[in-house]
Amino acid sequence: MNIDNARKEIDLIDGEILSLFARRMALGGEIGKMKEAAGLPVENSEREREILLKITRESGVELQNSARILFSTLFELSKSYQRSHKVVESGFPEKIVSALENTPALFPASAKVACCGVPGAYAQLATDRLFQLADITYFNDFGAVFQAVEKGLCRYGILPIENSTAGTIDQVYDLMLDHHFYIVRSCRLQVKHALLLPPGAEIADIKEVISHEQGLKQCVGFLKSLGNIKTVTAGSTAMAAKIVSSSGRKDIAAIASVECAGIYQLKIAADNIQDKDSNYTRFICISREPEIYPGAAKISIMGTLPHKPGSLYRLLARFAVLGVNLTKLESRPKRNENFEYMFYFDFEASMASPELRMLLSELVSDGNFTFLGNYAEITA
C-alpha cells in the first residue's frame, strides 16, 4: 500500500466516523429530551466513568490515552448538544438580559470614580482614557477602591489587573475573592516610566529610588545601570513622586509617569526607562451592578473546579464547542484552604449569545462560578 491508497482508505473511514458521529449526537439529543422530561441532570459521571474504563481496557496499551481523550471529548460534545435543548431555570440569564436591554447606548462621559494612589497615578491616566471628565476620589489601597464601589461612595472603581512585563497584580486578584463587583469596561494603557529627581539634583547624587513594586520590576535594567542603588516600594508610582517632592533630600528619586513631574515639581532625568517599550498595564473599571454596553466583546468569570482529573479540560471543551476564544486563564490559591485554587477566565464572547448565556447560567447556578462582566476593552 502506498501513501495515496492509505489516504483514500482514511477518507473512507472518516466518512464512516462522521456518519456514526451524527447518529450518536442525534441519540444523545433524544436522551437529553427524556432526561429533561424526567427531571434528570444532563451529567451522569458514573456512566461516563464506566464507559471510559471499558474503552481503556479494550483499546490496548498503545491507544489507551488517545481513546480516553477521544471519548471524553465525545461526552462533552454530546452533553453540550443536550444542554442546548434544555431550559435552565435561573435568575442569571434574566439578570444579564436586563443589563443588555437597560444599559444606555453610550458609556458615561463623566462619573464619580475611585482610584488608588494620588494625582498622577497610572490609574488616573487610565481613568482619563475611559472618561472624558471623571470626578476622581483617591484611596490609599486597592481594597478601599473595592469598598468605595460596594458601598456606593463611587459609581466606578479603576484597578490595575495585569502588566505585560511584570505579570498579574496579585493583590487585586486576591481581593476579587472578597468583594462583589462587575467589570463594565477595561483599558490597556501603555506605561512609560521616567526617573524623576528633586530640582537641583543629578543622577550621580542618587542613592535611593522609590516606586511602586510593579514600577521597580518594570525598570530592572535601568536600575542596574545606576549601580549600587537602594530601592524602596511605595503605594503607587505617583505616591513615590509625592514622597520625593516633599522629602527635602537631593539623593532620592522616583520612578513615575512624566505627568508626575509637573504635578510634584520634579525634573525628568530620564524617560522611557522601562525594560520593554511594549509595556502595557490592563486596568478594569468596576461597578456595583452589571452594565453591558453595545460592543461588549470580552467576558470574565471566576470560580472553582473539582479536584478530579480532566475537570479543567472538560470546562474548556464546553467553551470550545461554542467557538469561544480563551484569552486568559489565571489560577490563584484560595486563602485558608490548602491546595484549593480559584480560576479566573477571560474570553472573547458576547452575552447576546443564548447558547453562551445557557452555559454560564449553569456554571453560576451550580454555585462554583461568578460572572464578572461582559465589556469592551480599549487600548490607549
| pLDDT value at residue 43 | 81
Q: Strands 369-379, 298-303: parallel, antiparallel or unpaired by DSSP?
A: antiparallel
What does the pLDDT look like over 225-284, one tens digit per residue? 999 999 999 988 999 999 999 999 999 999 999 999 999 999 999 999 999 888 899 999
Domains 3-83 and 194-271 share a fold: no
Rg (CA), the chain: 26
SS3 category, 103:
coil
Catalytic residue among 103, 127, 237, 281: 281
DSSP category for residue 54? H
Query: What is the pLDDT, as a whole number, of residue 352?
Result: 80
Mean pLDDT of 105-114: 96
> How large a percentage of the chain has pLDDT more than 90?
57
- Asked about 283 being catalytic, the answer comes back as yes
The contacts of residue 23 (CB under 8 Å, 6+ apart) are: none
Q: What is the CATH number of domain 194-271?
A: 3.40.190.10
Instruction: Please say if the pLDDT value at position 14 is more than 70.
Output: yes
The reply to whether 181 belongs to the active site is no
pLDDT digit string, tens, across residues 334-344:
777 777 788 99
Length of the chain: 380
- 367 Cβ neighbours under 8 A, 6+ residues apart: none
Say which of 142, 283, 345, 369 is annotated catalytic. Answer: 283
pLDDT at position 271, please? 95
- Report whether pLDDT(85) > 70: no
Cell numbers representing residue 311 in the block? 475537570
Give the pLDDT of residue 90.
52
CATH class (in words) of the domain with range 91-190+280-379: alpha beta
Rounded to two decimals, the pTM is: 0.82
Confidence of residue 60 (pLDDT cuts 50, 70, 90): confident
CATH number assigned to the domain covering 3-83: 1.20.59.10
Task: Tell me the pLDDT tens digit for each residue of 167-215.
Answer: 888 889 889 888 999 999 999 999 999 999 999 999 999 999 999 998 9
CA distance 286 to 158: 7
Residue pair 185/107 in contact by the 8 Å Cβ criterion: yes
**What's the rounded Cα separation, in Å, for the pair 202 and 199?**
9
Please report which confidence band the pLDDT of residue 221 belongs to, taking 50, 70 and 90 as the band edges: very high
Whether residue 365 has pLDDT greater than 80? no
Instruction: Show me where the domains of the chain are located.
Output: 3-83, 91-190+280-379, 194-271
- Residue 310 above 70 pLDDT? yes
For all residues of the chain together, what is the average pLDDT? Answer: 89
